[in-house]
Amino acid sequence: MTVDEGAGPVELREVLDGGVRSVFQPIVDLDSGRVVAYEALARGPRGSELERPDHLFAAARAQGLLAELDAACREAAFRGALEQQLLAPLTLFVNVEPEVLDSAPLDDLLAIAADAPGDLRVVVEITERALAHRPAELLRTVDRVREIGWGIALDDVGADALSLAFMPLLRPDVVKLDLRLVQERPGPAVAQIMNAVNAYAESSGALVLAEGIEDERHLRVGRALGARLGQGWLFGRPAPGPAPAFEVGELVLPPRAAVDLAATSPFALLQAHHELRRSPKQLLIELSKQLEREALRLGETAVVASTFQEAKHFTPATAARYRDLVERTGFVCALGEGLPEEPIPGLRGTTLAADDAVRGEWDVVVLGPHFSAALLARDLGDTGPDAQRTFEYALTYERATVVDAARCLLSRVVPREAVPVPTGAEQRASVAADAGTAGPARSPGEVRTTPAGEALLHRALAATTSGVTIADMRRPDQPLVYANKAFEQLSGIAVEDVLGRNCRFLQGEDTDPGVVDAIRAAIRAGQEWRGTLLNHRGPERAPWWNEIYLAPVLGADGKVLQYIGVQNDVTARVEAQRALETERDRARALVEQVERLAYTDPLTGLKNRRRLEERVEAALWDARLAGHAVALLFCDLDGFKAVNDEHGHAVGDELLVALARRIREAIRRTDLLARLGGDEFLVALPALDPETAEEDARRVAAAVSAAVVRPVDLGGREVAVGASIGIGLTPRDGTTFGELLHEADQRMYAAKRGRRAAALREPGDEPAPVA
């Protein structure tokens, strides 16, 4: 690429060979007022178009030289810092572009730093965008940076929800708030961001830095947001050397250590204080689903990382659930032997080698700004049916363990194909650049091109099948000043009738106001926006789904001049997706209905024997690990057959429903209740103290018996029955559900025989109906 420089052309390669220089903007400790650091900002040759960082990086990306430019920028930052004596106690903040993180030649930089006459303290600035695309590489780079004693800053926090999700994974020493948080009016979104940032800063000791402080109001807002460091024109614009008006102070970062988690596995991270349990596969499935529901509740601020051992365990039902996670959360990955790098669209992952330590694990990790949970399980190698396989597991909410488990899994995710990402320099060019470095003057919004190029541009816009519009943001009501023929067909209105109008004419009463508010918020913030909106076509107002991409056009002063909109009719896709979602919901409802029929008593709504047996077996596992006892109560109604014979089965059914409700109210909240069949009920009492277990069981049995014997009013008829209850108790009567049920059954019949014998005695001599 050749760019005019007044006196002659400048080749991008020449710039990379020594034409890149750095200017430095002060970072101030807000409490002491001292400058503690400088951020290095790249500039091209003075007076050339490449002097502006946005032009410089755009040219490098276009020619595939971004890595070379990034290295040149960092080398210029180091050399400039040495020349200007920006050494300890000062710290130098240096940007590393997300697209080239793993290829950053750190050895070259270390050699430069080693030649410094004093300590050159460095903080590397990165963004969460790199972790979304290349998580393993970024985590490895962060560890390399920490090994050499440098710090990490997470840049542009608040510009994207992913920054909140990935913040604990990157473990930054400094959190840089996006300048919009300081400069715009506070709202719910700002509150959500600051809750997450302050929670992380409080737990980690990280420092919060507010960017974009241009006046005293911005300073007050920054301090209110919890910032201890500030950066912006109020403290000084970028300059070739230090800011002489400030005293120098030291930036003290929290201690951090590099942690290599790629060589271990999530289950191996568990410590002695984590309680290990054993369980069949079915319980782990339910625990996994619950964690997935928590992730959906967190939404776009959640990171989900899972392992499936082998590809065969990633079933169609699992794929359907993970499709929802991909659509509604920030980042999702799934690992397993034989799994492809993208099992379903948007789901990141990798295949696991047979000797990978993660291969034998079942892990589900959910991490958000204010929530952390991990199910970490190890296959015990059972050879029986898959549904009966046993795992040793722990369910932990300990944040440090959950974060390490997530880092452990993300360190294995393969990189996504490189996608051009706007650089930090490009995004901040209009704010950070000096007024005198904007290059040759041009009118606002002017695009420099040749007449032939302009004609080619118009032909391209006319030929594209996407609707293209341009709105003038400087005029009242932001009217359209350009629309191509494709937009005329999409809108159903002639171009000449479209120009001069605001795009809201496409909306209708059934257009989602939430999406409209999101578009307006993005425009107010000068941000890009992508999404789908219901629009209406022509005089008939026929509805159609519009997939929209909006991008701002900035002037030399950094203000938004225009918005370009690119639009496509995706009605067929949206309707197909909705039909698929409807079918998916129907299938999910059918599965839930089948599960209800399989595990629920249809009359009373209580668990049936099959479901209770699963729950009791899980409680028995827990009891063995914790040293607890478990009791099982077998309750049989006395006189129920007589009620059926006298009043009919309908009344008998009403009685069973009423008694089921009474028994539920009589037992503890943690106890389990099921209908065994007919007039028989089971009550399981988990986690009992072995010293008082029998006494506790008899107390609950007496409460159940008292609840049953009270007359029940059924449509004006009082009906009364009795109850005989037998108790099975661990370890006295066995350690399995079958053994407890047998003993409780035997004792129930003993109690029933005692009641019958009592009927032949004098009143008042009846034995208790509990055995």
- Paired with 43 in beta bridges are 21
Which amino acid, one-letter code, is at 399? R
What pLDDT sits at residue 427? 36
Checking DSSP bridges between strand 207-210 and strand 229-230, what pairing results, if any?
Answer: parallel
What pLDDT sits at residue 352? 78
| Tokens describing residue 418 | 């490189």
Indicate whether 258 pLDDT > 70: no
**How many CB atoms within 10 Å of residue 118?**
11
Indicate whether 604 pLDDT > 70: yes
DSSP 412: T
What integer best gives the mean pLDDT of the chain?
A: 82
Indicate whether 257 pLDDT > 60: yes
pLDDT per position as a tens digit, 470-499: 999 888 778 898 888 889 889 998 888 888
Indicate whether 635 pLDDT > 80: yes
Which amino acid, one-letter code, is at 43? R
Q: Average pLDDT, stretch 702-717?
A: 90
Which amino acid, one-letter code, is at 70? D
- Interior/surface letters 228-248, b for 16+ CB within 10 angstroms, e for the rest: bbbbbebbbebbeebbeebee
- In terms of phi and psi (left: phi > 0; alpha: psi -120 to 50; beta: otherwise), the region of 402 is alpha
pLDDT per position as a tens digit, 544-589: 999 999 999 988 777 889 999 999 999 988 888 888 888 888 888 8
Detail the DSSP E strand segments found in 403-495: 467-472, 480-483
Q: Which residues, in sequence order, are CB contacts of 178 under 8 Å at separation 6+?
A: 156, 157, 158, 159, 211, 212
Percentage of residues of the chain with pLDDT beyond 70? 85
Please provide the DSSP assignment of 477-525 as one string. T--EEEE-HHHHHHHTS-HHHHTTS-GGGG--TTS-HHHHHHHHHHHHH
Give CA–CA dist 19/55, Å, rounded.
14
Distances (CA, A) of 720 to 57, 271, 709, 768, 770: 85, 56, 6, 18, 18
Percentage of residues of the chain with pLDDT beyond 90? 30
| Tokens describing residue 484 | 């191509």
pLDDT per position as a tens digit, 461-472: 666 788 999 999
Tell me if 503 sits within 8 A of 480, measured CB to CB. Answer: yes
pLDDT per position as a tens digit, 22-31: 999 999 999 9
More confident residue, 441 or 539: 539
Tell me if 157 sits within 8 A of 176, measured CB to CB. Answer: yes
Give CA–CA dist 672/617, Å, rounded.
12
Give CA–CA dist 558/549, Å, rounded.
21
What pLDDT sits at residue 657? 93
Indicate whether 171 pLDDT > 90: no
pLDDT per position as a tens digit, 678-695: 899 999 999 999 999 999
What pLDDT sits at residue 311? 86
Tell me if 58 sits within 8 A of 97, measured CB to CB. Answer: no
CA 186 distance to own-chain centroid: 23
Give CA–CA dist 243/35, Å, rounded.
8
What pLDDT sits at residue 260? 64
DSSP 305: E
Tell me if 748 sits within 8 A of 726, measured CB to CB. Answer: yes
Indicate whether 745 pLDDT > 90: yes
Give CA–CA dist 126/729, Å, rounded.
60
Tell me if 569 sits within 8 A of 475, measured CB to CB. Answer: no
DSSP 301: G
Give CA–CA dist 526/312, Å, rounded.
46
Please provide the DSSP assignment of 635-649 as one string. EEEESHHHHHHHH-H
Indicate whether 603 pLDDT > 70: yes
Q: Average pLDDT, stretch 47-52?
A: 81
CA 484 distance to own-chain centroid: 39
| Tokens describing residue 589 | 């409802």
Q: Quick check: bond before 89 cis, omega within 30? A: yes
More confident residue, 433 or 236: 236
- Paired with 534 in beta bridges are 545
How long, in residues, is the chain? 771
Tell me if 380 sits within 8 A of 394, measured CB to CB. Answer: no
Give CA–CA dist 404/417, Å, rounded.
26
Three-state DSSP class for residue 508: coil
**pTM of model > 0.75:** no
Q: Average pLDDT, stretch 225-238?
A: 91
Give CA–CA dist 604/602, Å, rounded.
6
Place of tokens 């089921």: 660
Please, is 166 exposed, middle or buried when counting C-beta atoms within 10 Å of its C-beta (0-12, 13-18, 19+)? buried
End-to-end Cα spacing for the chain: 93
Say what the alpha-carbon torsion angle 399, 400, 403, 409 is, to the nearest 10 degrees.
-130
Q: Average pLDDT, stretch 78-103?
A: 79
Q: Which residues, in sequence order, are CB contacts of 51 under 8 Å at separation 6+?
A: 43, 44, 45, 437, 439
Please provide the DSSP assignment of 168-189 as one string. HHH--SEEEE-HHHHHS---HH
Q: Average pLDDT, stretch 393-398?
A: 91
Please, is 471 exposed, middle or buried when counting C-beta atoms within 10 Å of its C-beta (0-12, 13-18, 19+)? buried
Indicate whether 111 pLDDT > 80: no
Give CA–CA dist 98/142, Å, rounded.
12
Indicate whether 40 pLDDT > 70: yes
Edge-first strand listing for the sheet containing 390-396: 277-280, 390-396, 372-379, 361-367, 303-310, 331-337, 348-351
Q: Average pLDDT, stretch 368-387?
A: 85
Give CA–CA dist 768/543, Å, rounded.
73
- Strand (E) or helix (H) holding 717: strand 717-719
Please, is 421 exposed, middle or buried when counting C-beta atoms within 10 Å of its C-beta (0-12, 13-18, 19+)? middle
* Of the candidate ranges 117-126, 244-253, 298-307, the one whose mean pLDDT is the lowest: 117-126
What pLDDT sits at residue 450? 46
Q: Average pLDDT, stretch 523-552?
A: 91
What pLDDT sits at residue 588? 81
